[in-house]
A and B are shown apart, each in its own frame.
Chain A
């Protein structure tokens, strides 16, 4: 663009290290933690002691092009933070929740782990050991490899995230429909971006479906790429219950009721098919199941859909026409797609929408992408080491076809929680869960639904080891051993998540914090030496070993990649289905059963599942539970993102993040706030049949007055770690109000963003200590509930003592 920043590139050499005044500059990639899903290229400035002084964006980067978000810019605050974990620490099992940690050496920590692992393997089988991860970052490959090779159990899961409701429902569905996965094309897989890439086309229409990309930057997609496309003429459709900043620039804003996304997509297809706006050529040549789909969408006329979604019928029709007629159109979808009970069906509806308009693997459309260099650095790392018959033991697998037949890289957390609670697997057979290995997750703060239930279930597990950067509420409440891990700038690592492959170069260390890779390697040589070459001793050795064993990877070592500039883009080709580039047999088509883009997957049909997308009301809603809705009249959505935080990270009171965002906010329409006597800036309670939490009211007149929107991930590191204070973890947690185990027919998806609640103002009485959720959960049995929470009978949670 005419007015883009013009960096003086003479000052930014394309080499690994240089000196600038008193500081040492290292040009590398940031990932996590603290971090996010991206992998922005940065320059770390360190002093001669290796202390991180400042971080800047690398102007040579095709990925972030010199730009950087506020969290990387404030990174030294957390890297050098006094309250980081410095040493391994243990605590007696009967002292969980107390601040009675005792420092131990790494050798002692490893001894404790190995002793427990061997004992549980012997007494209850390796399947009694489960590893749990937070959101996918650069511990994904480590935790998987460690679980499968060193512990030998089959269960790896997103840490109590109900229905794996983050990207995995969409990914699993995409592999069924197209044998691959798609993402909106912003020229991100080419080194020359935007108009410098002669093949790329500016999307005429970009649909932001359940995502606020500039804030959330989810799934290796840098949200501001959308802004670049907008500057180049892209028009937007925003599908969002609230008007986001980027939505305010949209041509169409579809303010749908949370959880009704599938109905909307079906309604759009109704318009597009019935008005003959679909792509005949693509459908006839490459799609399977169009006739069935055409019949199904007749059940979703615009009038009906408008009523379900609380949107204007004409707006729905106009937006559908615009999406279908624009060439190319692309969809960037987000978490909201996963976070309903019918997450899979919602994803199918949206995948079908893209399919019938032919926006598949075309420039500026939805492009299919694999992992860089054929490297498996995800949740399947090391799965080849699992003993025969082990994968079949995955908890939840037998219950859900998608999982049973292999469209998964994880176990279902809901089934794991049930097993911990009951000692039984989903078939009713005994299944003791003896040990949890929790790496980079803080589930009672952030990721797990029904957080009080998770907290209580942990008491039944013999041994819990947490690997993290700080003492978290989960570790304080539940861990027996905690290991300090290195931050992103303290690790040698290779990043693989789509393209390009990137190197991360270590620039310093912090007390005794170790790289996650180092912990895995050290445990490997102790627990399963036959699976670990003697020479693999450091994280760098590990990366080199993995790269050498990947035939498609052109680099044999991290050093080669660093020397090549720190990243490598593999050739990206469009229309791969036409060129025979998707199937193992080299034939044109998609890597599916029929070789076609399956609008109605034959696998679903053969499993006896409905092969077509459908809409179903959320389990609690004004329509599915009208009686309950009389007590809890508002639709509750959760997990609104902000620039300052990434999940439960960055909450330390002295950070710039907390300076800019000191308290949790929930958004409420001013009319609704007035109705319930809540003033802006006032703490208010949000409550339903499951439990309650409190946040500070923030007026948002863009919401439907019947909808409120809450933030997630809040804890207060400035409070005491020990119970009953426990960093105030349950006080502001909307997951007190969301169930576990409400999953759709595929096992994927959960009603995390589409529940119901009521709100009422804080008073001095209801703000007393004994009324605080953290106190009620840790000192009483707050928010325990029987099956009544799944019925339409207004029944308050019981058990508060």
Chain B
């Protein structure tokens, strides 16, 4: 698999910021305190000038993420994707993810496709 062939699609409209991906990753990779393979970033709550409250979370893989190569070789999902409580993470070939993101455009979702470093 060449770098960039596979990635993650995140629907950050529905990411609840629950930390399940962070902890699933720490456990899968046995990461020490302070290290994360994925981090949930937070924007807001912030009231914009038009009176709308912005409050978003989005998980961002770090350089320690290998997209769970060992798990995916067995046919399992990456641990973050497996456990995501809001069901907003999808693992797959980036072309497929991009197509799915485009398809989801018509819904209330907000998609982001990530190629980990």
Contacts and interface: CB of A to CB of B under 8 A. Distances in A.
Contact of B27 (A3, A11, A54): A54
Contacts of A8: 75-77
Interface in B71-102: 74-77, 79, 81-87, 89-90, 100
B14 interface: yes
B113 to A, nearest CB: 11
A550 interface: no
B69 interface: no
Contact of A243 (B20, B55, B79): B55
B33 interface: yes
Interface string A208-224: 00000011000000001
Contacts of B9: 3
B87 A245 contact: no
A231 interface: yes
A768 interface: no
Contacts of A382: none
A6 B100 CA distance: 14
A702 B55 CA distance: 11
Interface in B19-67: 19-20, 22-24, 26-28, 33-34, 44-47, 53-55, 57
A11 B82 CA distance: 13
A68 B28 CA distance: 14
B16 A245 contact: yes
Contacts of A57: 82-83
Nearest to A12: B76
Given A73-B24, A224-B86, A2 B100 contact: yes
A606 interface: no
A245 B17 contact: yes
> Which of B19, B46, B55, B82: most chain A CB closer than 10 A?
B19
B19 to A, nearest CB: 4
B87 A4 contact: yes
Given A228-B87, A243-B53, A702-B45, A656 B20 contact: no
A643 B19 contact: yes
A484 to B, nearest CB: 25
A248 B18 CA distance: 15
A644 interface: yes
Nearest to A700: B45
Contacts of A643: 17-19
Contacts of A248: 44-45, 53-55
Contacts of A76: 27
Contacts of B83: 56-57, 66-68, 73
A67 B84 contact: yes
A701 interface: yes
A70 B100 CA distance: 28
Given A4-B87, A5-B82, A11-B75, A214 B18 contact: yes
A384 interface: no
Contacts of A674: none
B3 interface: no
A2 B16 CA distance: 19
Contacts of B23: 70, 73-74, 656
Given A4-B87, A231-B14, A248-B44, A67 B75 contact: no
Contacts of B20: 67-70, 73
Contacts of B22: 70, 660
Contact of B14 (A56, A65, A230, A700): A230
B26 A245 contact: no
Contacts of B45: 243, 248, 700-702
B84 A10 contact: no
Nearest to A660: B19
Nearest to B34: A659
B3 to A, nearest CB: 23
B19 A56 contact: no
A626 to B, nearest CB: 31
A227 B24 CA distance: 20
A65 B104 CA distance: 22
A246 interface: yes
B74 to A, nearest CB: 7
B88 to A, nearest CB: 8
Given A67-B20, A69-B85, A248-B45, A5 B90 contact: yes
A227 B33 CA distance: 30
Nearest to B84: A67
Contact of A1 (B33, B34, B87): B87
Contacts of A2: 100, 103-104
A7 interface: yes
Contact of B33 (A4, A59, A224, A659): A659
A659 B26 CA distance: 12
Nearest to B87: A4
Contacts of A214: 16, 18, 85-86
A273 to B, nearest CB: 31
Contacts of B34: 659
Nearest to B107: A231
A73 B27 contact: yes
Contacts of A65: 87
B19 A5 contact: no
Contact of B47 (A10, A56, A66, A701): A701
A660 B42 CA distance: 14
B19 A70 contact: yes
Interface in A234-248: 243, 245-246, 248
Contacts of A231: 14, 87, 109
A644 B18 CA distance: 9
Contact of A5 (B16, B28, B81): B81
A247 to B, nearest CB: 8
Given A67-B83, A74-B27, A702 B90 contact: no
17 contacts: A2-B104, A4-B87, A7-B77, A57-B83, A65-B87, A67-B85, A69-B18, A73-B83, A74-B23, A214-B86, A215-B18, A224-B16, A227-B87, A228-B87, A243-B45, A246-B16, A248-B45
Interface of B: 9, 11, 13-14, 16-20, 22-24, 26-28, 33-34, 44-47, 53-55, 57, 74-77, 79, 81-87, 89-90, 100, 103-104, 109
- Top-6 shortest CB links A-B: A248-B55, A70-B23, A73-B23, A214-B16, A70-B19, A8-B75
Given A7-B77, A701-B45, 15 more contacts: A11-B75, A54-B27, A57-B82, A59-B82, A66-B83, A67-B85, A70-B20, A70-B23, A73-B23, A73-B27, A215-B18, A227-B86, A231-B87, A248-B45, A660-B22
